[in-house]
Chain A
């Protein structure tokens, strides 16, 4: 208290003692709490990265033995890992692409147009986000099996599909991932669109731009940060998904599923390596997005 009083005495003589005291404590406690909170969030990641450099012995990368680059030098050196990673990246890329495309269009439609059932769709969009993954996974599995057997509850209109079209594997994982990603994209894009001033589009048309040019020269550049954020979110949700994927993947193994399958017998440092790499890419992506978002212009004026 004395220190606080003396430090402030010169400049803020009129500040009441109580508030000075409060501020003095706040000044020292706040950074402490902040450090704790950030540490709480970051320590698992630090451990993951640290142990990717562990010179581990045997099958389990649990005990620190010293620094080495050997896992980083052979990041894919486990049977099954390259295939799983490839599958996960492909699924993530494709589902991000489709979900972003569809989600953006849905977001545009929902904010732009008045149509019958708009409110209903607005609500339904949240359902996949709100439902437990285990429910989605189980129901998707049931649906896919019914379709591929050509039996039971095949939704009307899907009868034309060959029976093997939806046999469990790549296609079904992709469909599931697009499905749950769309909601997140729609919500993110809608948030960006809600502040959009339609008069900017009228101004573009006033100046001779047709609908197409108006979209690409005015609308798209202005909502791009939202679309990018949505795409990053979709990618990370897809590459990470275990529960739903586990239901619909058949015999295919995505990276998270492969990790789950090996950790019963071994805990290779390569998991940490891949995890660290994904983390770094994600950090890079988020930094990029923040940069663009930060420079993104306000809508007004």
Chain B
């Protein structure tokens, strides 16, 4: 499983305290790195940078410090669509602003294409930003907004005209040159902001929740658009969002951030199928987490016992060496429901339960199933075999839940009291 191997490596690279294991395995990759963060840290509020940030956080005392970004090691590959995903306040914007040059790191390094830019001012970095509120210059026309960066570099007028025109073409706003930002809709302003950044052909484009202010429909449309544009211009995108669906839709790789660190980094599928922490499991989609204790291996499978002693099997290679109590995770769509007494194929994990709630969602039906051993589990069933009202499971019916052991994942149990927690923090 090459995918797993990759995640494993990322995990090691993350958890090391300075031994730098990520790079030496594959030195050829170094040249392909667009941005490298080394132990990047930002502490607000203290005077670690000589600057005292008075009371940004409500109620903070002058000498309270706050670790917004906590020793992050990260490599963003050339040409990839990379997302920083995490809940509000986890440090995404701060990380991005340090890369852009708007915030000085408390410690650590920022390398851009192999060059240390940690102390360069924003205007000397070959990086451009799409700001969350767009920050278009209200006194300049769309043309002059987009031309702003080129004019600073003293590009010839004819050239500017050409490139701005091309760029407005790319973002599908040709003919808008003479409008002022005040005369644009949100979606159009968004495109101008994108054009204004991309026209400079930066090594890396930083986007801070660029779609946050748009309505849902426009947001979906712009997600596709952004991905298309990224593939067309082949510039590295670092995209910040708190919306897991958005990150999953667009990204080549995602780092899931929590409290100033990232908990896991990988392809969207890997993050979804093999979350390594309780937080990641809960933040991306819905997870059923069942508290369990290990009960030794049996032919390639690790066996775990739930609270009521039901055995659950997980392929040995999915277990990362957690020895204490763990939580077995399984996604709601991976679980099959069948009659309580029906025969099931051997080798499947099997639990008994009672339907406590059914909601018909059209494409699927969502069931909440109370387990015999306590707690409850969410199950999504495609409305294929059962679709009409009479065919669907109804509350009160006894069922058994089955799933393929390979569809499980194991995360360390962080002492959460609930047996089967459904965490949908997004």
Which residues of A line the B interface, CB within 8 A? 114, 197, 199-200, 202-210, 213, 217-218, 221-222, 296-301
- Measured between beta carbons, the chain B residues less than 8 angstroms from A221 are 139
Interface pair A300/B133, CB less than 8 Å apart: yes
Contact of B184 among A202, A205, A210, A301 (CB under 8 A): A301
Offer 22 A-B interface pairs, CB within 8 angstroms, sorted by A: A199-B135, A200-B138, A202-B122, A202-B131, A203-B131, A203-B135, A203-B136, A203-B137, A205-B102, A206-B101, A206-B122, A206-B128, A206-B197, A207-B123, A209-B152, A210-B123, A297-B138, A297-B180, A298-B182, A299-B138, A301-B134, A301-B181
Rounded to whole Å, the gap between the CB of B96 and the closest CB of chain A is 11
Decide yes or no whether B257 CB sits under 8 A from chain A. Answer: no
Decide yes or no whether B153 CB sits under 8 A from chain A. Answer: yes
A175 to B364, alpha carbons, bound, how many Å? 80
Beta-carbon nearest neighbor of A218 in chain B: B137
Additional 9 contacts, C-beta under 8 A, given A205-B102, A205-B123: A202-B122, A204-B148, A207-B148, A208-B152, A208-B153, A297-B180, A297-B182, A301-B134, A301-B138
Decide yes or no whether B121 CB sits under 8 A from chain A. Answer: yes
Interface pair A197/B149, CB less than 8 Å apart: no
- Measured between beta carbons, the chain B residues less than 8 angstroms from A298 are 138, 182
Contact of A207 among B138, B152, B181 (CB under 8 A): B152
Rounded to whole Å, the gap between the CB of A49 and the closest CB of chain B is 37
- Measured between beta carbons, the chain A residues less than 8 angstroms from B148 are 204, 207, 209, 217
- Measured between beta carbons, the chain A residues less than 8 angstroms from B181 are 297, 301
By CB atoms of chain B within 10 A, which of A202, A206, A208, A298 has the most?
A206
- Measured between beta carbons, the chain A residues less than 8 angstroms from B182 are 297-298, 301
Interface pair B138/A203, CB less than 8 Å apart: no
Beta-carbon nearest neighbor of A203 in chain B: B135
Decide yes or no whether B196 CB sits under 8 A from chain A. Answer: yes
Rounded to whole Å, the gap between the CB of B205 and the closest CB of chain A is 11
Interface pair B135/A202, CB less than 8 Å apart: yes
Q: Which 3 A-B pairs give the minimum distances between C-beta atoms?
A: A297-B138, A208-B152, A207-B149
A213 to B149, alpha carbons, bound, how many Å? 12
B interface residues, tally (CB under 8 Å): 31
The proximity string for B residues 136-175 relative to A, scoring 1 for CB distances below 8 Å and 0 otherwise, is 1111000000001100110000000000000000000000
Q: Count A-B pairs with CB separation below 8 Å.
A: 79
- Measured between beta carbons, the chain A residues less than 8 angstroms from B129 are 202-203, 206
Known: A221-B139, A297-B180. Is A202-B102 also a contact (CB below 8 A)? yes
Decide yes or no whether B100 CB sits under 8 A from chain A. Answer: yes
Interface pair A301/B121, CB less than 8 Å apart: no
A217 to B149, alpha carbons, bound, how many Å? 12
Rounded to whole Å, the gap between the CB of B107 and the closest CB of chain A is 23
Which residues of B line the A interface, CB within 8 A? 52, 54, 100-102, 121-123, 127-129, 131, 133-139, 148-149, 152-153, 180-182, 184, 189, 196-197, 200
A298 to B102, alpha carbons, bound, how many Å? 24
Known: A203-B137, A207-B149. Is A301-B123 also a contact (CB below 8 A)? no
A209 to B196, alpha carbons, bound, how many Å? 14
Rounded to whole Å, the gap between the CB of A115 and the closest CB of chain B is 10
Beta-carbon nearest neighbor of B52 in chain A: A114
Interface pair A300/B196, CB less than 8 Å apart: no
A200 to B140, alpha carbons, bound, how many Å? 12
- Measured between beta carbons, the chain B residues less than 8 angstroms from A208 are 123, 149, 152-153, 200
A129 to B139, alpha carbons, bound, how many Å? 33
Rounded to whole Å, the gap between the CB of B29 and the closest CB of chain A is 28
Rounded to whole Å, the gap between the CB of B340 and the closest CB of chain A is 60
Beta-carbon nearest neighbor of B127 in chain A: A206
Interface pair B131/A199, CB less than 8 Å apart: yes
A222 to B135, alpha carbons, bound, how many Å? 13
- Measured between beta carbons, the chain B residues less than 8 angstroms from A222 are 138-139
- Measured between beta carbons, the chain B residues less than 8 angstroms from A213 are 152
Interface pair B136/A207, CB less than 8 Å apart: no
Beta-carbon nearest neighbor of A197 in chain B: B135
A134 to B135, alpha carbons, bound, how many Å? 47
- Measured between beta carbons, the chain A residues less than 8 angstroms from B52 are 114
Beta-carbon nearest neighbor of A206 in chain B: B129
Interface pair B196/A207, CB less than 8 Å apart: yes
- Measured between beta carbons, the chain A residues less than 8 angstroms from B197 are 206-207
By CB atoms of chain B within 10 A, which of A202, A203, A300 has the most?
A203
Rounded to whole Å, the gap between the CB of B339 and the closest CB of chain A is 59
- Measured between beta carbons, the chain A residues less than 8 angstroms from B100 are 206
- Measured between beta carbons, the chain B residues less than 8 angstroms from A206 are 100-102, 122-123, 127-129, 197
Rounded to whole Å, the gap between the CB of A218 and the closest CB of chain B is 6
